[in-house]
Amino acid sequence: MKFVISHLAKRFDQKEVLRDIDFTFEEGKIYGLLGRNGAGKTTLFNCLNRDLKPENGGFFFMDENGAQRETETSDIGYVLSTPTVPEFLTGREFLKFFLDINAESIPHPQPLDAYFDYISIAPEDRDKLLRDYSHGMKNKMQMIVNIIAEPNLLLLDEPLTSLDVVVAEEMKQLLRSQKTGKITIFSTHILDLALDLCDEIVLLNHGILEPVDSANLDSHAFREKIIAALREEDHA
């Protein structure tokens, strides 16, 4: 399975945020979407999630025989940088509610405590209100419901930026363990984080998505070239 973006463009008034996004993502990989703050990473995700309508272009899935199909709501999981959870529910109530309303579409449902164990939410925290959860715990809850749904395309909008070191490492291990059978696009403005987690790096620069040759990533000169490109855009 591949996910193909074809000549996607988006503008706001006179500002052209996405100029000509043309890229093919392959199943089983975590892609690092690297770009400075304000480069258009969230705009791209919102277009793919159909929260925004692009001015031009489109996107679709392609199977191994080259057959194309449109994306459906169930195909896409979207984890926001600021976790959005119903804070009036407990963690257990939230998971149960999600499982109940999606019962027909969840491929492999597990007992609630199995999910909590998987994302390292302690037993004493599972029946607390979500409003009393830390930012990292809320982020874990947002992540787990997207993993439960087993989407074909998982969009991660800077979900690790504000987490402490331990939680961030747990989340990275979780993402690595879940990449098989799906396409994961992880947006960040932190180069070292992208290099640590991702199988491939793509650079969103001046509204265009550019592949980064992984063979060069350990080169100091090449890192400086990427940073210079981001800095150049920041002053454009």
Average pLDDT over residues 191-206: 86
Tens digits of per-residue pLDDT, 37-82? 778 899 999 999 999 999 999 999 999 888 999 998 889 988 887 8
d(CA 165, CA 127): 25
d(CA 122, CA 97): 20
Q: What is the reported pLDDT for 235?
A: 44
Task: Output the CA–CA distances (angstroms, integers) from residue 99 to 17, 93, 139, 181, in the order listed.
Answer: 37, 10, 18, 21
CA angle, residues 66, 78, 209, in degrees to nearest 5: 60
Q: Read off the amino acid at residue 78.
A: Y
In sequence order, what are the beta bridge partners of 16?
11
Tens digits of per-residue pLDDT, 21-42? 999 999 999 999 988 777 889 9
Beta carbons of 150 and 107 less than 8 angstroms apart? yes
Q: What is the reported pLDDT for 236?
A: 44
Q: What is the reported pLDDT for 215?
A: 66
Beta carbons of 93 and 83 less than 8 angstroms apart? no
198 exposed, middle or buried (CB, 10 Å; 0-12, 13-18, 19+)? buried
Q: Mean pLDDT in the chain?
A: 86
pLDDT higher than 80, residue 139: yes
Q: What is the reported pLDDT for 214?
A: 65
Residues near 158 by beta carbon (within 8 Å), at least 6 away in sequence? 41, 81, 187, 188, 189
Task: Output the CA–CA distances (angstroms, integers) from residue 149 to 49, 63, 96, 110, 189, in the order listed.
Answer: 15, 20, 13, 12, 27
What percent of the chain clears pLDDT 90, i.e. is strictly above it?
Answer: 42
- Please, what are the domains in the chain? 2-85+155-234 (3.40.50.300)
pLDDT higher than 70, residue 228: no
